[in-house]
Amino acid sequence: DAGVTQSPTHLIKTRGQHVTLRCSPISGHKSVSWYQQVLGQGPQFIFQYYEKEERGRGNFPDRFSARQFPNYSSELNVNALLLGDSALYLCASSLETGLYQPQHFGDGTRLSIL
Amino acid sequence: AQRVTQPEKLLSVFKGAPVELKCNYSYSGSPELFWYVQYSRQRLQLLLRHISRESIKGFTADLNKGETSFHLKKPFAQEEDSAMYYCALKDSNYQLIWGAGTKLIIKP
């Protein structure tokens, strides 16, 4: 199993543009979570999806949106990009959403906003 | 407010010395706590979790509810332990709240 895969690995955008990041979970995993990691900080929770439904949303503006597809892959969309959106975006998958479920992470997408 | 604090950004110890990475949390309920590790050029991965009460790669972590801490310990550090370590708390909504991380450097 390739584990959680994310694409693209790197992306450069300018302010005001929009971006779509993609994530494929581990086979059999039904839950996908998205995190933003700014340099020098721990990951910040953005969204969690389970069985194609949003199960949780972090403290991010409405410019951030996501969805999960029938095959459990997921997309994170960010509109009207700001310089502060520059970060590593991590996707994690887990079998379920339970309290004790460990999450498995991808390598992330490095987004740079110019 | 829910919060995870890792007070040390950097911890440097000699090989063979004991290691303790500190993690304190603020949470009103009964949290589930995790330690994640990121080795150089590798992805973030789970090291251990409170519920399992296990020892992974010689590391253990004990939840102290009185001190609201979940410190990670290893009696004898090895060079391959050099990595970035993150403490994380899963809240009642099953969302992970992360500390800022501690970079552990093991000196030969």
Check CB contact under 8 Å for A105 and B100.
no
Check CB contact under 8 Å for A90 and B96.
no
Task: Give the model confidence (pLDDT) of A59-96 as tens digits.
Answer: 999 999 999 999 999 999 999 999 999 999 999 999 98
Task: Give the model confidence (pLDDT) of B69-95 as tens digits.
Answer: 999 999 999 999 999 999 999 887 778
> Across the A/B interface, how many CB contacts are shorter than 8 Å?
56
Check CB contact under 8 Å for A102 and B43.
no
User: What's the Rg (C-alpha) of chain A?
Assistant: 13
Percent of chain A at pLDDT exceeding 70: 98
Which secondary-structure segment (H or E) carries A35? strand A31-37
Task: Please count the other Cβ atoms lying within 10 Å of the Cβ belonging to residue B29.
Answer: 8
Nearest CA of chain A to the CA of B96: how many Å?
Answer: 7
